[in-house]
Structure 1
Amino acid sequence: QLSSDRDMEETTPVRQQHRFNTDRLHRYLSAKSLVAGQSNPSFLIQTPSKSYVLRKKPPGELLPGAHQVGREYQVQKALFSAGFPVPQPLLHSTDVEVIGTEFYLMEHVKGRIFRDLRLPGVSPAERTALYVAAVEVLAKLHSLDLASLKLEGYGRGAGYCKRQVSTWTKQYHAAAHKDIPAMNELSNWLMKNLPASDNEVTLVHGDFRLDNLIFHPTEARVVAVLDWELSTTGQPLADLAYFLMPHYWPRSLHIINVLIHLSGIPSVADLTSIYCRCRGIPSSLPELNFYLALSVFKMAGIAQMKFNASLDWYDLTQWTPFFTRVSMLDIFWVMPAHPRQICPTEHTLFLQTAKGQAVLQEVKDFMRQYILPAQEVIRAYGNSGCNKMYLCGQVKAREAGLWNLFLPAVSGLSQLDYAYIAEETGRCIFAPEVFNCQAPDTGNMEVLHMFGSEEQKKKWLEPLLKGEIRSCFCMTEPNVASSDATNMECTLRRDENSYIVNGKKWWSSGAGSSQCKVAIVMCKSSSQDVSNRHGQHSMILVPMDTPGVKLIRPLTVFGQDDAVHGGHFEVHFENVRVPASNIILGEGRGFEIAQGRLGPGRLHHCMRAVGLAEFALELLCQRAASRRTFGKKLYQHEVVAHWIAECRLMIEQARLLTLHAAHALDTVGSRAARKQISMIKVAAARMACKVVDCAMQVYGGAGVSADFPLAQMYSYARTLRFADGPDEVHLSSIAYQELKDQLKKAQAKL
């Protein structure tokens, strides 16, 4: 029933004298774009105080079983009661005398709906966050308990895929304007290759697409999932595959193939990893190709239905040739096991977004006004009072909004945006700390953001993001070769509702800070399968004031204290008991977490190393232009001139490789960008060492003194060659990835 201009509680069936031609209203509202693109027309109903949405069956002859608005109302009512984001359903009417068809009324949810899957008008970082939010809400849907929802009888449960193939085959034959042999082939193939997992049963949406979601007006958060017409119970991976399907369309279609080129669109591997993590299931989905082929088949059937319905809003100009000329089986056979990935440098100039450029300029101004002068004061008068200077700088940075710039979900910046910013902060050893972008806190915050429970985020992530506390990361051990992390001996043992940690760690950066309140500790779980080398380790949160946590000694770097970061400490854990809720993600997930942590973290180090090298080259040139030997200035000696040229070459090469890796992180995700990250991890550290070494050589004895920053810069650059994995491990990884890539190229030529 349409609402009058009174409150919702006073709405009544339309009186005879107020009745009107609903078909004309339908056509009028369609022209005003108030009828959405769903098959069940939706109308916006407005009163002076509220807005509602009316969903009704379309007029005319309908396919059997289609357009059951009563089921939509039923499932939305159950989901709304469970706290799942759907519009609140208000009433359901089967009285066709009211407006001519069955309908239901629900609240009108305000927010953003993206019809274009490329999400134009948003930054790459927000684009990533929106896609992640979408797949997280899908995982939440599939994690709901049917009994709790009182929807056990809502669908037919097990055997979903078989029913889907049968149903869409029937729908296709009922609606097809002509016979398409490829559709028949695909239908037969699907029925003969049903997955073994077809017995899994959850609530499924049936049409889960980005444009069926309403996002918060300003936040990357789903506030409502729409269009439950095809919802039922059955295999949840069909929903996931349908959502991922645009990543696989052949490029020849020219429909949305730019999706995989666009900065910020997560890869299929990243989206499936997030989905599986949220649901707590294994990340390998060997039958995904079947569900993708089923999705294509379903889309073809829908296209035929829309073609016959002659709905103006549905553009078939590009779909019809595809379904009539291209073999549907061809799509399935060429579908890769992983998303199609392009070379990150293709058609890319590594340009920042407008927001990234603005923030970079603000950081440069802030550095020039506050940080670089403070660096000169500390160098002249020592570290006394430097903590006070850090705190003053942090207050100013936070007031300026230059805070937590490293975390895309918070800053709205992409990794490419942040690459330029981190380079700027690399010009000063303590600058990252001023912006709350210092290691190891950045990596720890990323871990908690990506993998932490809500309880862990509230207790530790929130104060870390506010800069109220510090943290450390305990991974390397003194008694084993930690370049092979499977050697770790620190143990984790479950004892009822607690875990007990025993072991020795060292090079735990920041552990000596008075603000360091928590450590993330990598341990070997005693309960895990010893045959799985990478499934035995876990990460757990250990408050630093827990009994049994002992700070043994600070470690020096080249014989000097490194107090800027709170020192690098040896830490012992002796029967340290912490709550079981402190485990991150679950036992045996340590290496999985480490890969998520170390990807961006390694890149951040490399970004800063480029900035450090730029500053070292500036110092080199200043010295070369101001000192004379043997009757001419230093830069006039050919060897020094060649050093300057070589340094410029190395810096530019490293910068491009850094930006290449940052772009790869944004476009294909951490896992697919492993080779690029390993390459820059080796190249940036070597480059920074060489540039600083040249500068030290030009400065002579002054270069190794405390009068200039070069000695401290060199210790940082040299340490970087084994921090987060030694060069040799990364070189082996690069070689392995290169051989795989070459093998793929060779096979593609056959």
Structure 2
Amino acid sequence: MNLLGDMEEVREEHKFNVSQLQKYLSGKLRVPSGELITVRQYSSGQSNPTFLVQSPAESFVLRKKPPGEYRVQKALFSAGFPVARPLLLCSDDAVIGTEFYLMEHVNGRIFRDIRLPGVSPAERAALYVAAVEVLARLHSLSLHELHLLDYGRGHAYCQRQVSTWTKQYQASAHQDIPAMSELSSWLGHNLPSHDDEVTLVHGDFRIDNLVFHPTEARVLAVLDWELSTTGQPMADLAYFLMPHYWPQELSLISTMGSLRGVQGVPIPEELTSVYRRCRGLECDLPPLNFHLALSVFKMAAIAQGVYARHLLGNASAPNAVEFGQIVEPLAKAALQLATGSLPGPESRLFLQSPQGQEVLRRVKDFMREHILPAQKEVAEYYERHTAASPQHWETPPVIEDLKVMAKGAGLWNLFLPAVSGLSQLDYAHIAEETGRCIYAPEVFNCQAPGNMEVLHMFGSEEQKKSWLEPLLRGEIRSCFCMTEPGVASSDATNMECSLRREGEQYVVNGTKWWSSGAGNHRCSIAIVMCKNSSTDHRHQQHSMVLVPLDTPGVTRVRPLTVFGQDDAIHGGHFEMQFDNVRVPLTNIILGEGRGFQIAQGRLGPGRLHHCMRAVGLAERSLELFCHRAAARQAFGKKLYQHEAVAHQMAEMRLLIDQSRLLTLSAAHALDTVGNRAARKQISMIKVAAARMVCHVVDCTIQVHGGAGVSGDFPLAQMYAYARTLRIADGPDEVHLSSIAQLELRDQLRTTRARL
């Protein structure tokens, strides 16, 4: 209890004779009689006022009216359980006007906000796990060995709790609240059948009643044993988990706010698993509905009591008046927990792992602090270096500097699970964030195409050493040469660029276009899709071969434009000519005739990453839409006040969230069932995300009017990217055909299974 911001001068109603206290303590502790001690009050604590007593040499914590607290802390301290060391108990009311006890001051961290602001998500997770481990340790202690068998009444704990808090509420109620009466009745008629287990229970176990080590995720002391007794341990666990189930609108009291969406805080299932492991429990825990409802009922009764003390003028809390406003909402929330289904793991699908959450937080910080502020400098670079400049196809220096910073920060090659340790689901959330800025993926070395994935999955050791390793280090770049101008490339079996074997070499001949990134001066290697087999099997006639771009016969014919833009920031999209280009046999990837096998392995994750970046781009577009609609006025009112614009805004939100969920579902499928089994989900999101982002950006252009198609806003560039997605990685029509075939197969398979 060392947070200076948690201290205040002793309130008038709680003042006592400090000199008399010093005289009493000087004969029992190392408190000097000559120099006066100082006393300050902790602003937290409602019923038992708590004070920091300091002498020049030592600091102590004093608690008034301590029935039972001193005894239980003394027993726990003797057993090695983390509590503040109890020093003395004074039953003489003449000293300060009431009973009190003194304990050692523990120097550590107390978090008054259960969301633990100011710590990383990884540390936040560790702190919550440490808290649950201490709770499990408490419940594992033997009452007999603690000499606390008579400390409470043990059995029928839940029944007594319902009765106790009902009476306490009724004694302090200032008005009739039907929801509280209904809740009390429900609890009384639905007592759990597993009410026979008896352990020592804290009664108010929450994160702000713990003192953590100053730098480690370790509990030094559990505080405030005022409500401790013996009884059902599930009550403590449910009380600790309660903020996970609170609606966010009930977060008026900062210490008991909602934990929903707080990065790093483990979900209830994870915390329950830790609790079970620490207690050595083999069977599942019983449902917590009753205990959660009881916990919220207790909070409502306490809030009513705090408000009642405010009305009487003797409340400890400075914000006591606010407590009266939350009693009824708490009761209604408890009734929902009591009679409804608790959110289970199925409602928390698609959450990142703790590592993924931590990386996402760092990526967001990096985006906000470094990448987004550099957008103006990047734009100015291309204004200075037009298409006629030899520097036009080079990466702007500011982006190169950002790449060095990102690499140094460990935010590098995040797309590749084997390197980053992230799942596809983890990376999907990160890809969405990087999609908000057109060049952000390159800063983290996560840009298209997916050649690094191809080499990682299918490359030989020699190929990995020669090309994958420098690609992963960011020393070189690559391009993918597949689409051809002379054939309908939507049917990849039409590819005509030839590959023939001559001795110890392959000879490549043909024309490719839309080879993205080929213009960048660092682009050193291309993966080229070639036709090389006379087999009749359409999907075994093609191979992929590595072609260094400095090989004789390789020509960058021309850069192509997308809606008039050359995409120089991505290295452009080039038409490439291969005239009798000779490469060693060792440059074949996986083997002859394996091109389509490689393509399928490459396109699954790659398409998914495109889709999540599209969701991020759509979110950025919607931001621009909302700002424009709120800032501009037409026909006597703001744009957003026109129903057509408001409905458009709502439709955009629907589309974005639908696409995000569908993409995360596909990412989850990739992680759990693999690329082949996830084909339908990947094809579905490829169509849905491309259509969605195209529509969202189009709406944003429309609300911007003429400015939307100008260079003053990024919307024209965003639209060019969005519209291209409906063709890149396969046109919508191809994916729709694939979805239909897979759906028909699944439906017929289900029908046969029923028969």
The TM-score with structure 1 as length reference comes to: 0.53
Structure 1 residues 581, 382: CA separation in 2 closer, same or farther (over 3 Å shift)? closer
The alpha-carbon deviation at position 351 of structure 1 amounts to 0.8
What does 1:284-295 correspond to in 2, within 5 Å? Answer: none
Aligned to 2:375, the other structure's residue is in SS state: helix
Query: Contact 1:380–1:707 at 8 Å: present in 2 too?
Result: no
Gaps of 5+ in 1: 1-120, 122-344
Structure 1 residues 591, 368: CA separation in 2 closer, same or farther (over 3 Å shift)? same
The 2-side partners of 1:622 and 1:543 are apart by: 47
Aligned partner of 1:416 in structure 2 is: 425
Query: Contact 1:379–1:706 at 8 Å: present in 2 too?
Result: no
Match of 2:701 among 692, 696, 705: 696
Aligned partner of 1:518 in structure 2 is: 525
Aligned partner of 1:390 in structure 2 is: 399
Structure 1 residues 709, 444: CA separation in 2 closer, same or farther (over 3 Å shift)? same
For residues 358-402 of structure 1, give each alpha carbon's deviation from its aligned partner in whole angstroms, at most 9, with x where no partner exists.
000000000000110111333466454861011000000000000
Aligned to 1:352, the other structure's residue is in SS state: coil
Task: Work out whether 1:360 is the aligned partner of 2:360.
Answer: yes
The alpha-carbon deviation at position 603 of structure 1 amounts to 0.5
The alpha-carbon deviation at position 652 of structure 1 amounts to 0.4
The 2-side partners of 1:584 and 1:401 are apart by: 30
Query: Contact 1:405–1:418 at 8 Å: present in 2 too?
Result: yes
Task: Work out whether 1:446 is the aligned partner of 2:453.
Answer: yes
The 1-side partners of 2:665 and 2:346 are apart by: 10
What does 1:115-154 correspond to in 2, within 5 Å? Answer: none
The 2-side partners of 1:599 and 1:657 are apart by: 14
Match of 2:410 among 393, 397, 401: 401
Task: Work out whether 1:478 is the aligned partner of 2:485.
Answer: yes
Aligned partner of 2:85 in structure 1 is: none
The alpha-carbon deviation at position 347 of structure 1 amounts to 6.9
The alpha-carbon deviation at position 346 of structure 1 amounts to 6.1
For residues 522-546 of structure 1, give each alpha carbon's deviation from its aligned partner in whole angstroms, at most 9, with x where no partner exists.
0001x441x1000000000000000
Percent sequence identity over aligned pairs: 75
The alpha-carbon deviation at position 616 of structure 1 amounts to 0.2
The 2-side partners of 1:376 and 1:567 are apart by: 20
The 2-side partners of 1:506 and 1:495 are apart by: 26
Task: Work out whether 1:489 is the aligned partner of 2:493.
Answer: no
The alpha-carbon deviation at position 519 of structure 1 amounts to 0.3
Aligned partner of 1:654 in structure 2 is: 659
Aligned partner of 2:378 in structure 1 is: 378
The 2-side partners of 1:505 and 1:448 are apart by: 21
| Code of the aligned partner of 1:684 | A
The TM-score with structure 2 as length reference comes to: 0.53
Asked which structure has the greater RCO (Cα within 8 Å, sep 6+), the reply is 1
Aligned to 2:351, the other structure's residue is in SS state: coil
| Code of the aligned partner of 1:396 | M
Aligned partner of 2:311 in structure 1 is: none
For residues 81-116 of structure 1, give each alpha carbon's deviation from its aligned partner in whole angstroms, at most 9, with x where no partner exists.
xxxxxxxxxxxxxxxxxxxxxxxxxxxxxxxxxxxx
The 1-side partners of 2:658 and 2:460 are apart by: 40
| Code of the aligned partner of 1:352 | Q
Task: Work out whether 1:576 is the aligned partner of 2:581.
Answer: yes
What does 1:61-100 correspond to in 2, within 5 Å? Answer: none
Aligned to 1:670, the other structure's residue is in SS state: coil
The 2-side partners of 1:712 and 1:683 are apart by: 20
Match of 1:427 among 406, 414, 436: 436
Task: Work out whether 1:607 is the aligned partner of 2:616.
Answer: no
Structure 1 residues 612, 415: CA separation in 2 closer, same or farther (over 3 Å shift)? same
The 1-side partners of 2:522 and 2:534 are apart by: 34
What does 1:675-686 correspond to in 2, within 5 Å? Answer: 675-686=680-691
The 2-side partners of 1:378 and 1:577 are apart by: 38
| Code of the aligned partner of 1:519 | A
Task: Work out whether 1:457 is the aligned partner of 2:500.
Answer: no
Aligned partner of 2:284 in structure 1 is: none
Task: Work out whether 1:540 is the aligned partner of 2:545.
Answer: yes
Query: Contact 1:541–1:584 at 8 Å: present in 2 too?
Result: yes
Match of 2:724 among 719, 723, 727: 719
The 1-side partners of 2:363 and 2:482 are apart by: 32
The 2-side partners of 1:641 and 1:495 are apart by: 65
| Code of the aligned partner of 1:424 | E
Query: Contact 2:542–2:595 at 8 Å: present in 1 too?
Result: yes
The 2-side partners of 1:676 and 1:467 are apart by: 32
The 1-side partners of 2:607 and 2:505 are apart by: 32
Aligned partner of 1:639 in structure 2 is: 644
The 2-side partners of 1:346 and 1:537 are apart by: 42
Structure 1 residues 384, 405: CA separation in 2 closer, same or farther (over 3 Å shift)? farther
What does 1:545-560 correspond to in 2, within 5 Å? Answer: 545-560=550-565
CA root-mean-square deviation: 1.7
| Code of the aligned partner of 2:458 | F
The 1-side partners of 2:383 and 2:455 are apart by: 32
Kindly name which structure, 1 or 2, has the bigger radius of gyration based on alpha carbons.
Answer: 2
Query: Contact 2:453–2:602 at 8 Å: present in 1 too?
Result: yes
The 1-side partners of 2:373 and 2:711 are apart by: 17
The 2-side partners of 1:666 and 1:383 are apart by: 43
Aligned partner of 1:140 in structure 2 is: none
Query: Contact 1:528–1:535 at 8 Å: present in 2 too?
Result: no
The 1-side partners of 2:643 and 2:613 are apart by: 30
Aligned to 2:673, the other structure's residue is in SS state: helix
Gaps of 5+ in 2: 1-121, 123-344, 386-394
What does 1:159-308 correspond to in 2, within 5 Å? Answer: none
Structure 1 residues 578, 382: CA separation in 2 closer, same or farther (over 3 Å shift)? closer
| Code of the aligned partner of 2:516 | S
Which runs of structure 1 show a deviation greater than 3 angstroms over 4 or more consecutive aligned residues? 345-348, 379-386
The 2-side partners of 1:571 and 1:631 are apart by: 55
Aligned partner of 1:19 in structure 2 is: none
The alpha-carbon deviation at position 642 of structure 1 amounts to 0.4
For residues 326-354 of structure 1, give each alpha carbon's deviation from its aligned partner in whole angstroms, at most 9, with x where no partner exists.
xxxxxxxxxxxxxxxxxxx9675111000
The 1-side partners of 2:409 and 2:686 are apart by: 31
